[in-house]
């Protein structure tokens, strides 16, 4: 695709699974350029959640390019994810009334527990649909959907993999790749992050001391529900991609989780 600009910027692909990210070079300047990002990026830049937005341009192909400041830095490692700066940035996102307002203005959708269940069952292979453990877990999750008023839903990133956290050389932390953003129960993001990176015995301490919220029984139940649902979605994805080793590993993890007292009684 021809992404040439008329003001001297050279555009070079920089890889990635979507093929939509580029480096912009003009003389001694560098910018991070992406094609057809959400207009929500402007609010994220204003709140300093993502690197600063420099400009937005519409080009002859009909695409929209956004340019952000180019920051030297690195992604966080898995072992860095439980740190307080990660929890603090996530808490800032979840508590921001501006982000919620802006996401609604650009057409952000609400994601309810029933939507996630529908996503799991949609196109589910017969192998997984009839698997005794997966069937039992999915049916129980369907009968015990968490209840949270939609007015209490917040901006949710939806993909809190450690590779989406950028630590600049100056020590500033950013969260990038917002294509999966929605308005959802904050427990959706929290369960995704905590299940992958925070040891279960540290959950209450992490929530209280780093995310700064009390781990009430209601919140605990919601975290457990979304954690199990996310695991089902991950198993489905691995099956679709033919990654059966990872799929079976997750099934074993699921079997272990449902044995533990603090999980929903299955």
Q: What's the N-to-C CA distance of the chain in angstroms?
A: 52
**What is the per-residue DSSP string for 192-221?**
HHHHHHS-GGGHHHHIIIII-----HHHHH
Residue 127 is among the residues annotated as catalytic for this protein = no
Q: Are 15 and 25 in contact (CB under 8 A)?
A: no
**What is the per-residue DSSP string for 139-207?**
HHHHHT-----GGG-EEE-S---GGGEEEETTS-EEE---TT-EEE-HHHHHHHHHHHHS-GGGHHHHI
- How, if at all, do strands 154-156 and 64-69 pair? unpaired
Pick the closest to residue 209 from 217, 224, 198, 218 (CA basis): 198
| Separation between Cα atoms, residue 227 and residue 223, nearest integer Å | 6
Question: Which of the residues 63, 127, 152, 159 is marked catalytic?
Answer: 159
| Separation between Cα atoms, residue 256 and residue 253, nearest integer Å | 5
Q: What angle (nearest 5°) sits at the alpha carbon of residue 55, between those of residues 50 and 58?
A: 120
Strands (E), 5-94: 10-13, 21-26, 29-35, 53-58, 64-69, 73-75
Residues acting as catalytic residues: 159
């Amino acid at each position: 695709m021809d992404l040439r600009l008329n003001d001297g910027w050279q555009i070079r692909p920089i890889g990635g699974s979507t093929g939509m990210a580029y480096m912009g070079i003009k003389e001694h300047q560098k910018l991070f350029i992406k094609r057809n990002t959400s207009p929500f990026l402007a609010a994220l830049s204003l709140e300093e959640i993502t690197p600063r937005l420099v400009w937005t341009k519409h080009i002859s192909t009909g695409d929209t390019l956004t340019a952000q400041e180019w920051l030297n830095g690195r992604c966080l490692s898995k072992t860095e994810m439980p740190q307080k700066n990660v929890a603090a940035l996530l808490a800032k996102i979840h508590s921001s009334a501006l982000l919620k307002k802006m996401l609604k203005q650009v057409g952000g959708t609400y994601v309810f527990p029933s939507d996630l269940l529908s996503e799991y069952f949609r196109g589910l292979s017969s192998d997984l649909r009839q698997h005794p453990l997966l069937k039992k877990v999915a049916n129980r999750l369907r009968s015990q959907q968490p209840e949270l008023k939609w007015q209490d839903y917040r901006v949710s990133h939806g993909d809190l993999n450690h590779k989406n956290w950028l630590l600049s050389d100056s020590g500033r932390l950013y969260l990038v790749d917002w294509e999966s953003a929605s308005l959802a129960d904050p427990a959706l993001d929290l369960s995704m992050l905590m299940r992958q990176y925070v040891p279960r015995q540290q959950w209450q301490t992490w929530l209280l001391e780093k995310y700064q919220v009390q781990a009430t029984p209601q919140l605990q139940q919601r975290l457990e529900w979304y954690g199990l649902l996310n695991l089902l979605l991950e198993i489905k994805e691995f099956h679709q991609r033919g990654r059966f080793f990872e799929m079976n590993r997750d099934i074993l993890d699921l079997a272990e989780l449902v044995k533990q007292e603090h999980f929903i009684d299955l």
